[in-house]
Amino acid sequence: MGLSDFEYDRILELMGRAPNFLELSLFSVMWSEHCGYKNSRPLLSRFPNEGTRVVQGPGENAGVVEVGDGWALAFKMESHNHPSAVEPYEGAATGVGGIIRDILAMGARPVALLDSLRFGPLDGERNRYLFREVVRGIGGYGNAVGVPTVGGEVEFGRAYSGNPLVNAMCVGLIRVEDLVRSSATGNGNLVVLLGSKTGRDGIHGATFASDELTDESESKRSNVQVGDPFCEKMLIECCLRLLDEDLLVSLQDLGAAGITSSASEMAAKGGVGIEIETDRVPLRESGMEPTEVMISESQERMLAVVEPEKIDEVLLLAERYELVGAVVGRVAGHGDLRVIHDGEVVGTVPAEHLADAPVYERDVVRPRYLDDVPKLDPNELPEPEDYNTVLIAILGHPNLRSRRPIFTQYDHQVGTDTVVLPGADAAVVRIKGTDLGFAATTDGRGRHCYLDPRGGGAATVAEAYRNLSCVGAEPVAVTDCLNFGSPEKPDGYYQLAECIEGMSEACEVFGTPVVSGNVSLYNETDRGAIYPTPTIGMVGVMRDVSRHATPTFKREGDLVVVIRSGRRVSLAGSDYLEIVHGRITGRPPEPDLAAEKETADLVRGLVESGLVDTVHDISGGGEIVAVAEMALAGGLGIEYPKGAFERMTAGLGRGRADVALFGEDSGTFVVAVPEERWGDLQAALSGNAGYDYWIGTVGGDSIKVGDTIDVKLSDLEKAYERDLFEVHAPEGGHIG
């Protein structure tokens, strides 16, 4: 059941007796790492979670922030890693369904989905299968349920072979006064199950998600739920209607641990007890035992507390939406989660004990491998003989190639509110009937976090902040999904603790509190752990959604400028180093958070003022990859005059073209303006803390960089737009 001897002894102490099988099963799922956060809770307290726009921080189904004019955003991110490793389509699909219900439980209408994905290299057949089916699962569920998938990101690396990461984020829209909490209140109020019938799918899914993946994991397909997006669509509309008509006291979704989790958490938050009559739960399969009913993770279900005089209206409305609606229990004053079957009490546990799993605080010990990571001397690397070939190869690598084959499988315009479509730095969505809008992004930097956990954690937050600033949104808050290996191993716990510290420092500097999130540990196989991969989901608000920017070159003759927060670029830990030289080493530059914030805020101001409508941040692949992406998006080339490139190389690359072109840092943007606005841009940039330099002029059908690069956009496009789902030759290795 996943419980240690210590935990069993603790149960005996709390209960004052030996639990029966049902009661032990309740503890098993609620005290799993997936539900109980046993190893991460002490570390999570480090996150800042208060801010001027925060309406609801951690502790509810989702965080909530104000947008303006009485509108608020509810948002959260969660993982479905282990289920997707053994049943990728349903694992990904039910991950989408589960995060939608978290938003619904706040009383918000889900309006946007994003994802963050990691897979092993695509030269492996199993990795290709997982990738293809996960993408199909996300699209299959999101498209059918009618919530647009507006953004996301994906990377490939050997550390994720056999253990993919599938993180789903949902954003919902709500009026501040309509916010719902999940606390159960009112002795004698009824507990109602809404949605789908209950089956045996997903039993002990929470426990399964709290173990390392092994060769035996394939046999645990029954731990993976099966989704029905059409039922979920009806559930969304029904619940919002019930809330609009003031028929519910509180609402909670059923996810991991099923009725057990929802009922015990609602009871513990409200300081009450809940009695569940398992023989009144509508079943999809005959002969289910009370234990199976309590811990089933069947999808598309919500638990609601209803006043007795309103129950007929609630059940009638559920029937109109073709949903199962059944009274399965009541709120009581005894403080227990009490399970009743055929009129007999078959198990009873104080709800507060179930909701308060043991906490493990471990020593934070620096791993030996970090001491063995050498400083990277670029002069030890051979310089490329043909930069055209190198640029084509980097743009054609799966980690930097176009994501069009993914996002074209998603309906990203249902609802007609998506303003900036997938492929930009962040998605932009309008709020109908107003000038307001919001932007959202997901970001992760696993390789960076492996080479420098604290610096990588900070850099992940910084990248999300840049991406929102690129489109003109004011970043306001964060949700996260912390994907790590075993916390019981010193390396894994150190990575978790240090990444959280780096993320916290960045959130404090940027003023972006963490208002919700999820922790997914034990992401490892017999081949080792994944890269430490904290994923950031960040939202930003826009006072005027029409004032936004995209990374697309839009006009012949536009002048292109790079705006930096510092003067350091490095090949350490870079895409160039891995793709061209086959090496993953070196310590990437630590972000200067204060300078980054100042530069990002400056760029956002340029967009908000209407001066700039073309912006892209420099990230994986360095400056020339960012510029190439802008050129390909607009179908317009760019020419770096020889003198401009030589000055850039002398300043950034210390004479090496590969460092200047492909070196990575943090806090850098590329912007383009019409020539007639050049003076206005110079005036806006004068006196800023960073520095800027002109790199060239938009035009033509090629990218020309001094005498170093001269390549047709058509040749770059062939590599960049190559289908990600094709069979691939082995990746990596020296090509330059």
Supply the residues annotated as catalytic.
34, 80
CA angle (482 as vertex; 477, 485 as ends), nearest 5: 170
DSSP string, 300-364: SEEEEEE-GGGHHHHHHHHHHTT-EEEEEEEEESS-EEEEEETTEEEEEEEHHHHT---------
Give one word for 232, left, alpha or beta, with left for phi > 0 and alpha for psi -120 to 50: alpha
Helix runs in 516-592, H state only: 575-581
What tokens appear for 562 in the block?
């790079």
Residue 349: which residues within 8 A CB-CB, separation 6 or more? 15, 19, 23, 26, 27, 264, 336, 337
- Cβ-based burial of 125 (10 A; exposed 0-12, middle 13-18, buried ≥19): exposed
**Rounded-to-integer distance, Cα 385 and Cα 383, Å:** 6
CA distance linking residue 151 with residue 167, whole number of Å = 12
Residue type, 212: E
Compute φ and ψ for 475, nearest 5 degrees: -65, 135
Cα 265 from chain centroid?
24
Distances (CA, A) of 112 to 38, 168, 410, 685: 31, 11, 12, 34
Closest CA to 419 of 150, 144, 706: 150
Do 26 and 348 touch, CB atoms closer than 8 A? no
Strands (E), 204-279: 250-253, 273-277
Token pair of 130, please? 């997982």
The C-alpha atoms of residue 317 and residue 310 are separated, in whole angstroms, by 11
Q: In b/e form, how buried is each residue of 16-49, taking b as 16+ CB within 10 angstroms?
A: eeebeebbbbbbbbbbbbbbbbbbbbebbeebbb
Integer angstrom CA distances of residue 5 from 11, 12, 62, 253, 493 = 10, 11, 33, 31, 21
**C-alpha distance from residue 719 to each of 343, 403, 616, 641, 700 (Å):** 67, 12, 20, 25, 19
Question: How would you list the strands of the sheet with 344-350, edge to edge?
Answer: 250-253, 301-306, 190-195, 324-332, 273-277, 336-341, 344-350
Give 558: exposed, middle or buried? Use CB within 10 Å, 0-12, 13-18, 19+: buried
Q: How many CB atoms lie within 10 A of CB 358?
A: 15
Q: Are 530 and 483 in contact (CB under 8 A)?
A: yes
Provide the pairing of β-strand 301-306 with 336-341: unpaired
Q: How far apart are CA 242 and CA 248, in angstroms?
A: 6
Nearest residue to 192 via CA among 354, 310, 349, 355: 310
Look up residue 146 and give its two tokens.
Answer: 């009618």
